[in-house]
Structure 1
Amino acid sequence: MRRMILLIGVFVALHVAAADAIKPLMKWTLLDQNDRAYTLDDNAQVLLIARSMSAAKLVNAAIEDAPEGYLESRHVIYVADIEKMPSLVKLVAVPAMRSAKYRILLDRDGRVANQYNGDRETVQWLALKNGAAIQEQRFADGATLKQAIVNQAHE
C-alpha cells in the first residue's frame, strides 16, 4: 500500500512539474492596425494579450504617454483580440487604432489569443525566452502594468 501511495505521489509531482514547464509557442503571423504583418519570433520577450475593450484600455493607460517604439524597444508584443467586437464597431475602432504610437497586432478571429488560456477581464503577460513561455502574469490595473513594462527595460 505504501508503494502505491508513493507511486501516486511521484506521478502527481511529475504531472505538476510538467504543467509548469517551459512551453514553446507556436509561431504565428498577424496584421497590425496598419496592415503590416508581424510573425512571432525568438526576439520577443513579452507577449501582452488583451481580449476585451476594458483590457485594451488598461494597455493604453499603461503606454499612452510613451514615445513611439516604446514597446518594440523592450521586445514587448501587444495582441488585441478583436474577434468578439461587433463588425460595425470594428469599422470605427480599427481606423482609430491607426493613430496609436505603438503597434497593435489584431487577432481578428481569436486564433492566436485562444492558444494562451487568458480571460477577458485582465491583460495577460507571457514572459518569453527563446520562443517559449516561461512565466505568466495577469494585470487588472494600468499603473501596475505600466510599472511592469518599465521594469522590462531593465531585464
Structure 2
Amino acid sequence: MKAVFLMLLCLLSTAALALEPGERLAPWTLLDQFEVPYTLNDKTHILLVARDMDGAKLVNAALEDKPKGYLEQRQAVFLADISRMPGVIANLFALPKMRGYNYRILLDRDARIASRYPAGEGEVLWLQLEDGKLVEQKVFKEAGALKSALEAGGK
C-alpha cells in the first residue's frame, strides 16, 4: 500500500512541474559565466534550458558561428544546469572555456532554477514567452533544428 501511495505522489509531483500555456514564469536571478547577474523578466521572449552537458553542446553547436549579441537581439537567454559538474572541473576547465563563447550562459550551480523546467537528457527546452507568460514550448534534440528556429526568431 505504501508503494502505491509513493508512486501516486511521484506522479502528482511530476504533473505539478508541467508548464501550461498562459502560466507566468516566476522571476529568478542567476550569474552568468562572467559572474554578472541576470534576472528573468517580461522582456525575455525565449528561454533555452539545458539540464546536462549534451544539451549544452546542442546550444553551442547552434550558436558557434553567430556573432556576439545574437541571443540578446532575439531577447533570448540560455540557462545551463551545471549542478552535476564537480566544482573543481567547473572552475579550472569549464568556466574558462565558457568565457570564450560569444553568448551569455546563465549558470545554475545547484539546480534550483533549471529543475523547474522539464528539459530532458541530451535536449534543449525552448520556452517561448510573452510578457513573462509561457506561450509555447518545444524540445530540440538536434543542433541544426535549434539553429533554424533561432534564425526564424522563434516562429
What's the TM-score bracket when you normalise by the shorter of the two chains? 0.7 to 0.9
Matched, 1:29 2:32: no
Unaligned runs of 5+ in 2: 1-18
TM-score, with normalisation over the residues of structure 2? 0.84
RMSD: 1.3
Counterpart of 2:14 in structure 1 is none
Moved over 4 A (4+): none
Whole-Å separation in 2 of the counterparts to 1:59 and 1:141 = 9
Secondary structure at the counterpart of residue 152 of structure 2:
helix
Whole-Å separation in 2 of the counterparts to 1:86 and 1:106 = 14
Name which one, 1 or 2, has greater alpha-carbon Rg.
1
The Cα shift of 1:96 comes to: 1.2
Query: Contact (CA 8 Å) 2:21, 2:133: kept in 1 or not?
Result: no
Give matches, 1:5-154, under 5 Å: 20-91=20-91, 92-152=93-153
Whole-Å separation in 2 of the counterparts to 1:103 and 1:127 = 18
2:129 partner letter: L
Counterpart of 2:7 in structure 1 is none
CA deviations on 1:38-93 (whole Å, 9 max, x unpaired) are: 00010000000011111111000001100000000001110011011122321210
Whole-Å separation in 2 of the counterparts to 1:85 and 1:120 = 15
1:98 partner letter: R
Whole-Å separation in 2 of the counterparts to 1:59 and 1:70 = 12
Whole-Å separation in 2 of the counterparts to 1:20 and 1:118 = 14
Over 3 Å counting, the alpha-carbon distance change for 1:60 and 1:21 in structure 2 is closer
The Cα shift of 1:105 comes to: 0.5
- The alignment covers a number of residue pairs equal to 136
